[in-house]
Structure 1
């Protein structure tokens, strides 16, 4: 047709393409050993070497106890305390009738330990024929590595610098309770699922969250806290919909996910009730662990921490019980104010929603004792705030402090000394 361009011959087109490629700069090839995931894994492996050294020294000094002989090997030592309960679940499952200490009050039993983690360990055992302690440690270490990787990605997604994100991972890996990343506990798997869930929530990938929330709710108690996080997320998106569109599809999915998470959080207590015939089976089992402190009591939401403050100050320290309650109120007030500080606000609304929701959940249902340090682990996003200052002196000092606290946690909570009343 008149005016139509004449197509170039294939040889001419190829020659022009070669000339164009010569003018372009060569692509930058990043060596695999300098990629972000290698740096994160290097930090994780190095931290595990340090913690393994601590654990081996402590195991060598460990005397005979209810779980092991004196001077146990690493894997046996890593599978004591709740690790033995998870082992019981993996072998025998859950009791159909609740054991009692006196025919009335429920005593400690397997219903307090959800099946997600032992199921993964059993799967690995089936595939590899590993003994329980070895498989449990392997599962925990693998999930810990995954959690460190996604934590880095989450912080980069929130526009933290590469340096701050990597140092936050360092703190994540050397935190006082970070030995749990290589012990026979469900925390490592749970933290992996949680950081993945938070990443998906920040990215607003609601559909992908459904299976993550499901597995998470059967790994550690979390469904209700995450449902509250989602409720705050939905409310925030609704009130900011003029500046940040909240389409109908997102409304339906996010609200459905909120309801689903709440139901998932109630599923395990409901299942325990169906199997045992007691609708309070799960809460009665959990209450058995605080009976040595304050006796057998009913679960009254938001009363546990005030009971604990009175017990720790009144019974343990010999101080007026009301002083403990005053200190608790001050700590809660400082914590609430901190959530609105400029540094914490850099985490974004969704991570702050989770921190507030989980803290409220702990306040509602848990009794403060030595396991509280472990139960604070899901507040790990706050480590990013500690990682912001760039001073080498500050960062080095913080790592040394965390390692010292890690040793302290292992000595107080993990090592067994006689009739030990400070479980991890």
Structure 2
């Protein structure tokens, strides 16, 4: 206080380091991965004879379980030139349901790392960290550093955080998606011409991004008096929406050409539905999956003939109201709200609701920003506890038990 005024001490080295997003996110991410690893070892110890993984399944067996086996098989064997069918002539589960970027990237990375499983988990881990870092920087466009940090902590510790440590394509897709949304929020369109094909050949969902771009273009047109809309930006939005649409249908075309069956991809996807409904339709119809699912689950849960439809309608109305009116969601900006609406509409159009719905909601992770926005420490701590409990519940059911039709990730 040399001049009669109070002065704040300079921040120490640790404080300065914590203020750097890359290190802050890294500390949170590593701590969260330690928790997830402990949960997997717990699932290993609790895995019993009824589990598909057997008694006391090894850690490596669990992280390479379920669809990770399909990705691995695809990397080693490629895609069939003829779509496999059962004795009834129905298409059976096969590699065409799995997009090629993740399995072949893991095969390439596995050359120096010692094999596909190590490379697959390595890619998920690295992509998960980079996703968390991009999420932080993206949310900082709308929220303060504290809220953005809490949102990242929820993201890396949430119920689906195991996806950062298993041989699934979700973490890699999340990286491309968050980068694309971050760039869109900044009106930086150039890199999207690369990110859209990367998304489109990593995991299904790029058609939702095409819808987002269409809706975003309409919104930009009607708000052009508040934010000038030049010809160059219009061209970018239209071209990118067209590119996302073409990429979204490209894999169906590739599968059709390779197998000489134009419906190879869609019938392959429908093959998984027969695990729940053996006599389900062999052809795809938009929105049919959720309607059939509403009827199916009504019977399973004893909700009567129309209970499932009532629940579905109520859920659609509630989610629409949340995206339109909830103040913390609105604070995230129109881009993230339009993405959430587009992706949910995409799921409604193409998906049959079953236990994988939890995993398929993973691309809605930017909404963690709305959860973290309230400036209440008890609220944030409570959400974090719920995230960790939910993560254990998911791992326990999907990897320790793994023995019923609703314990499939």
Q: TM-score range by the shorter chain?
A: over 0.9
Alignment counterpart, residue 123 of structure 1, candidates 104, 108, 128: 108
Distance between the aligned counterparts of 1:60 and 1:137, measured in 2?
A: 21
- The yes-or-no answer on 1:192 pairing with 2:175 is yes
Distance between the aligned counterparts of 1:65 and 1:220, measured in 2?
A: 31
Distance between the aligned counterparts of 1:81 and 1:335, measured in 2?
A: 30
| Residue deviations 1:281-339 (CA, integer Å, cap 9, x gap) | 1110110111122233132211211211111111x123313011101101110100111
Distance between the aligned counterparts of 2:302 and 2:157, measured in 1?
A: 34
Q: Which residue of 1 aligns with 2:354?
A: 369
| Residue deviations 1:118-163 (CA, integer Å, cap 9, x gap) | 12211211233x22222111110110000000000000122x0100
- The yes-or-no answer on 1:225 pairing with 2:208 is yes
- The yes-or-no answer on 1:137 pairing with 2:121 is yes
In the superposition, the TM-score normalised over structure 2's length comes to 0.92
SS state at 1:340 partner: helix
Is the CA contact 1:106–1:284 (under 8 Å) kept in the aligned structure 2? yes
| Residue deviations 1:6-62 (CA, integer Å, cap 9, x gap) | xxxxxxxxxxxxxxxxxxxxx989643542221111111111100110001111222
Is the CA contact 2:151–2:369 (under 8 Å) kept in the aligned structure 1? yes
Is the CA contact 1:229–1:357 (under 8 Å) kept in the aligned structure 2? yes
SS state at 2:159 partner: coil
Q: Which residue of 2 aligns with 1:22?
A: none
Distance between the aligned counterparts of 1:364 and 1:388, measured in 2?
A: 31
Is the CA contact 1:309–1:321 (under 8 Å) kept in the aligned structure 2? no
Alignment counterpart, residue 244 of structure 2, candidates 251, 257, 261: 261
* Structure 2 unaligned spans of 5+: 1-9
Is the CA contact 1:90–1:119 (under 8 Å) kept in the aligned structure 2? yes
Give the 3 Å change call, closer, same or farther, for CA 66–397 of structure 1 in structure 2.
Answer: closer
Alignment counterpart, residue 358 of structure 1, candidates 311, 324, 343: 343
Q: Which residue of 1 aligns with 2:4?
A: none
More displaced 10-residue stretch of structure 1: 71-80 or 372-381:
71-80
Alignment of 1:334-349 (within 5 A): 334-341=318-325, 342-349=327-334
Q: CA deviation at 1:349?
A: 0.8
Q: Cα RMSD (Å) of the superposition?
A: 1.9
- The yes-or-no answer on 1:203 pairing with 2:168 is no
Is the CA contact 1:230–1:258 (under 8 Å) kept in the aligned structure 2? yes
Alignment of 1:259-298 (within 5 A): 259-294=242-277, 295-297=279-281, 298=283
Is the CA contact 2:53–2:399 (under 8 Å) kept in the aligned structure 1? no
SS state at 1:339 partner: helix
Q: Which residue of 1 aligns with 2:197?
A: 214
Q: Which residue of 1 aligns with 2:378?
A: 393
Q: CA deviation at 1:277?
A: 0.9
- The yes-or-no answer on 1:323 pairing with 2:287 is no
Q: CA deviation at 1:406?
A: 1.1
Give the 3 Å change call, closer, same or farther, for CA 83–252 of structure 1 in structure 2.
Answer: same
Alignment counterpart, residue 75 of structure 2, candidates 60, 75, 90: 90
More displaced 10-residue stretch of structure 1: 243-252 or 268-277:
243-252
Q: CA deviation at 1:421?
A: 5.4
* Structure 1 unaligned spans of 5+: 1-26
Alignment counterpart, residue 153 of structure 2, candidates 170, 184, 188: 170
Q: CA deviation at 1:68?
A: 5.4
Q: Which residue of 2 aligns with 1:153?
A: 137
- The yes-or-no answer on 1:183 pairing with 2:166 is yes
SS state at 1:55 partner: helix
Is the CA contact 1:76–1:133 (under 8 Å) kept in the aligned structure 2? no
What is the number of equivalent residue pairs in this alignment? 396
Distance between the aligned counterparts of 1:167 and 1:105, measured in 2?
A: 48
Q: CA deviation at 1:103?
A: 4.6
Give the 3 Å change call, closer, same or farther, for CA 220–65 of structure 1 in structure 2.
Answer: farther
Distance between the aligned counterparts of 1:254 and 1:224, measured in 2?
A: 15
Q: CA deviation at 1:415?
A: 2.9
Q: Which has the higher relative contact order, 1 or 2, with Cα contacts under 8 A spaced 6 or more apart?
A: 2
Alignment counterpart, residue 249 of structure 1, candidates 218, 232, 241: 232
| Residue deviations 1:80-126 (CA, integer Å, cap 9, x gap) | 10000000011001111011122511011111011111122112112
